[in-house]
């Protein structure tokens, strides 16, 4: 017997891949007309998070859900998210260094026009598919790109050193990956300074 999914089931499947979030366009795709949106907001089943962005009220909360929200916020006219979580936020996601960013950091294409919300920091740049990872409802820069971006920003040498060491210890990257990667002169100078410190520390430890 053929089983047809209900509108709510279709919407739940969409939202479950985005930590409970969904857009007005996605709701319409699931079968909910614009008129129905008002009804579900009024009943409290849908929480209106931002313009055209909702969240299922009963969906469990997650530490990463804000990344999904801003990913959906960055969507273009076709509904495709443009933001890739990066820099300090990406370091936190990958658990590289002890940094605890108070804002959400992400990178968008150069032509992105929306202004950064108060609790977000927007960087503009191109990120290839090989430089990002898919998470539940959002993309994040991979460990190597994250470290390079951090070196290219006003990130302290101490935190950068910790991030490089953590990434290497966890097997996420190798020193050769960093040395051979393309980066700005500013980033290269900081990376080389960090590698020099790490090498010096390793030599001291080996002597002990």
Residue ranges of the chain whose pLDDT lies below 70: 1-4, 203-208
Question: pTM, whole model, 2 decimals?
Answer: 0.90
Q: What is the CA radius of gyration of the chain?
A: 21
Phi-psi region of 95 (alpha: psi -120 to 50; beta: other; left: phi over 0): left
Is the four-CA dihedral 172, 119, 157, 180 of positive or negative sign? positive
**pLDDT at 204 (0 to 100):** 58
Give the domain ranges of the chain: 7-56, 65-207
Query: What pLDDT, in 10s, does the model give residues 111-145?
Result: 999 998 889 999 999 999 999 999 999 999 999 99
Q: For the chain, what percent of residues have pLDDT higher than 70?
A: 95
108, 122 in Cβ contact below 8 A? yes
**pLDDT at 177 (0 to 100):** 93
Q: Is 103 exposed, middle or buried (0-12, 13-18, 19+ CB in 10 A)?
A: middle
């Amino acid at each position: 017997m053929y089983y047809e999914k209900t509108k709510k089931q279709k919407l739940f499947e969409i939202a479950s891949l985005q930590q409970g979030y969904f857009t007005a366009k996605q709701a319409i795709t699931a079968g909910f007309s614009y008129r129905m949106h008002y009804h579900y907001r009024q009943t409290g089943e849908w929480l209106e998070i931002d313009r055209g962005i909702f969240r299922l009220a009963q969906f469990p909360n997650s530490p990463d859900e804000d990344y999904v929200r801003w990913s959906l916020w960055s969507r273009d006219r076709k509904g495709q998210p443009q933001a890739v979580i990066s820099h300090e936020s990406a370091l936190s996601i990958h658990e590289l260094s002890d940094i605890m960013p108070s804002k959400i950091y992400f990178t968008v294409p150069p032509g992105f026009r929306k202004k950064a919300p108060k609790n977000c920091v927007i960087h503009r740049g191109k990120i290839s598919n090989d430089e990002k990872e898919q998470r539940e409802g959002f993309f994040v820069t991979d460990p190597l790109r994250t470290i390079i971006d951090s070196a290219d920003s006003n990130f302290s040498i101490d935190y950068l050193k910790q991030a490089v060491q953590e990434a290497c210890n966890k097997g996420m990257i190798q020193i050769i990956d960093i040395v051979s990667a393309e980066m700005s002169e500013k980033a290269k100078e900081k990376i080389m300074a960090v590698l020099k410190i790490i090498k010096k520390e390793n030599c001291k430890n080996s002597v002990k």
